Amino acid sequence: MDREYEMIQKYLVKVRRNLHQIPELGTHLPKTQKYVCEELKKMGIPYWCSEKDSGIIAEIRGRYEGKTVALRADMDALPLQEQNAVSYRSRHEGCMHACGHDAHMAILLGAAKILQEERDGMHGNVRLIFQTAEEISRGSEIAISNGCLKDVAAIFGLHIGNILGKEIPTGTLIFPRACCMASFDKFIICVKGQSCHGSTPEKGVDPVNIAAHLLIALQTIQTREISGTASSVITVGKITGGTQYNVIPDQVVLEGTIRALDETVRQYIARRIKGLAVAISAMFGGSCECEIIWGAPPVVNDETMAELAAKAVSDLFEPKDIIEDFSIPNMGGEDFANYLLEVPGAFFFLSSSNEKKGTDIPHHNPTFNIDEDVMWKGTVTFVRIVHNMLQIEKK
């Protein structure tokens, strides 16, 4: 490890552990915002706090005119009770950084620290976007509405962990050239029937029966209506209804998610879910209400930007540590996709899957953790990307 990055690594671990202890949910992240702002203030980097949420937009202004490159980190956590027995475990009950966003913030602050010191030789500006509510797919839309992409030439973001597979060794950087993550949306179907005693089902309309038929029918959208080469997922993860074992309830609610790698497929699935819900409910004498809560579209990298990002660190790491031809997109979602609809950019991945350290646990798990030893690679990648896009004169 280069001495410069060895020093920044210590800073990254400290910041990540501090942030890990104060996880917050959604758009209101007062403690997290305060911590990030204090770090930016120490660095002398001007910043602006959103009035719509706890997001922060900061800017490192180069001495010379040039492009503006944006770097983004997400800030929110998950509603999970942490089970890791570590000294820096979450101090907030029922809330945990189980997706690596604490590391993302630390990595971006580390890059900011280095780039701020280089600003006198910089041709252009670096915009730092600290975004809320990625987990509920609202933060990037708010950040964009706040003008975070104004005059931006390109944007870059990263995800740490084992999101692309725990078999990818820790420290590996992955730069997909095209679609790398799926869209993600939520659907809620409220099936309505007519309550009656379980001994006389003929006197009512059974929404449990309707929901059961609908649950099976939804899977035929994928298997019989969409090409097998068009990857998609329809999952019902929650079904609620009824209060007594011997009473047919008035309604049953199904909640699930849609994932797709293609926008046309995404829209088709949403339409068909609504169509099947209405038709099957009516077929058994009931009715329904179906709501699609739109999340984010597929994450589609700009090929040129993905190639630039990979080349930026090609002289620093071994070929085995860099993957560019990753052709199997992840069916998870990321609202970074919204930025890529507006400006060219790339979303890359840093594996921290290390079985010996127990960091090969999936994301969104109460025992999720990362291999902190590789965090500096995320920082150096951000810095090198900026170096490649903005001419920097060493003083």
pTM comes to 0.93
Largest Cα–Cα distance of the chain, in whole Å? 86
Q: Give the H/E segment covering residue 212.
A: helix 207-220
Question: What's the pLDDT score for residue 149?
Answer: 98
- Long-range contacts of the stretch 79-86 (C-beta < 8 A, 24+): 79/25, 80/364, 80/365, 80/366, 81/366, 82/366, 83/366, 83/367, 84/366, 84/367, 84/368, 84/369, 86/369
Distance CA 176, CA 173 (A): 10
pLDDT < 50 stretches in the chain: none
Q: Are 114 and 379 in contact (CB under 8 A)?
A: yes
Q: Give the H/E segment covering residue 186.
A: strand 183-192
- According to the 3-state scheme, what is the secondary structure of 84-143? CCCCCCCCCCCCECCCCHHHHHHHHHHHHHHHHHCHHHEEEEEEEEEECCCCCCCHHHHH
CA nearest 164: which of 303, 373, 331, 375? 331
Question: What's the pLDDT score for residue 376?
Answer: 97
Q: Which two tokens stand for residue 133?
A: 């509510």
Q: Give the H/E segment covering residue 19.
A: helix 3-20
* 3-class state of residue 357 by DSSP: helix
Residue by residue, DSSP assigns 137-160 as T-HHHHHHHTTTTTT-SEEEEEEE
Q: Are 299 and 349 in contact (CB under 8 A)?
A: no
CA 181 to chain centre: 9
Question: What's the pLDDT score for residue 105?
Answer: 98
Domains of the chain: residue spans and CATH: 3-182+298-389 (3.40.630.10), 183-296 (3.30.70.360)
CA 31 to chain centre: 21
Question: What's the pLDDT score for residue 393?
Answer: 64
Q: Which two tokens stand for residue 12?
A: 């990254």
Q: Which two tokens stand for residue 21?
A: 């202890």
